[in-house]
Amino acid sequence: MAASADLSASVPADIKARGVIRIGSQQTFPPVEYREPGKDEVTGVSRELLDEVARRLGLKVQFVQAEYAALIPGLDANRFDVASGGISDTDEREEKVDFVNYMYAGASILTLAKHKTTFNTIDDFCGKGVATMLGSRVITAAVDAASERCKQAGKPTIRIEQLPSAPDARQQVDLQRVDGYIGDLPALAYMRQQFPGRYNIAGGDYRLTTYIASWGFNKRAPGLRDAVQRAAQSMLADGTYRTILTKWNLSDAALPEITVNLPASKRK
């Protein structure tokens, strides 16, 4: 199937002239966007979705490496057109950036395999420590709420350690400085698969919170945002969207519709 003429007409002129849609990403977040060890090419579920989106818009995808702190200033400075890498849509962030929502994500808890029966939900962590990635506001809020429940039940609270990247945070579990690492379920499933027999996901697939993985766009460039939304929606309509998610074992994460600025707080 060639690029749809209807869709490619909606691409803003400057991007159409360039022929390339630039994606800013940390590229260290499996299985969303990451590089296989020893390879330069970015791979992941978001990459495959964006490849297909770009193809339908008659464009090519180009990845630009950017640290988390540089993602949003990079959008402002027109260093790239899309900020990606598993960022989630929240009301607070929508004041600064527009989002095209592309999949469900949720935080689960990774523990050592030997603690399989000890920890099933966050409420089993009273008096214990958990590690998260720095800046996971949604997660820390959920842990604080659970910590409050511990206090009401007369138990000690939950301690949170925040670290700058997922590997750093996970290492605290290996060191047993904490008993759980809270991160994206797909990322945790990927880690468990990388180290067979070492880790367990609490309660099988227990979800602490749900959030909406999204691509971020400059508020001053709604044209590209709408073009990407329409292209992704057409993929959802003809089944390509679900095929790609299924390939990455993420069929549970499929959204019923590709939306713009619809965070988890506004969903049922």
Residues that bind another protein (CB under 8 A): 68-70, 72-73, 76, 90, 92-93, 95-97, 134-137, 161-164, 168, 171, 174-177
In the complex, least distance from residue 170 CB atom to another protein, rounded to whole angstroms: 11
Q: DSSP readout, 206-268? A: --SEEEEEEEEEETT-HHHHHHHHHHHHHHHHHTHHHHHHHHTT-GGG--SS-EES--GGG--
Q: Which amino acid is at 94?
A: E
In the complex, least distance from residue 166 CB atom to another protein, rounded to whole angstroms: 13
What does the block give as tokens for 256? Answer: 């019923």
Nearer to another protein, 138 or 258 (CB): 138
Residue of 66, 72, 106, 115 whose CA lies nearest to 88: 106
Nearer to another protein, 76 or 205 (CB): 76
Nearer to another protein, 16 or 219 (CB): 219
Give the three-state DSSP class for 11. coil
Nearer to another protein, 3 or 70 (CB): 70
Question: Distance of CA 53 to CAs 36, 50, 138, 250, Å?
Answer: 22, 5, 28, 18
In the complex, least distance from residue 201 CB atom to another protein, rounded to whole angstroms: 22
CB contact at 8 A, 83 and 115: no
In the complex, least distance from residue 214 CB atom to another protein, rounded to whole angstroms: 12
In the complex, least distance from residue 71 CB atom to another protein, rounded to whole angstroms: 8
Location of structure tokens 């549970």:
252
Nearer to another protein, 132 or 259 (CB): 132
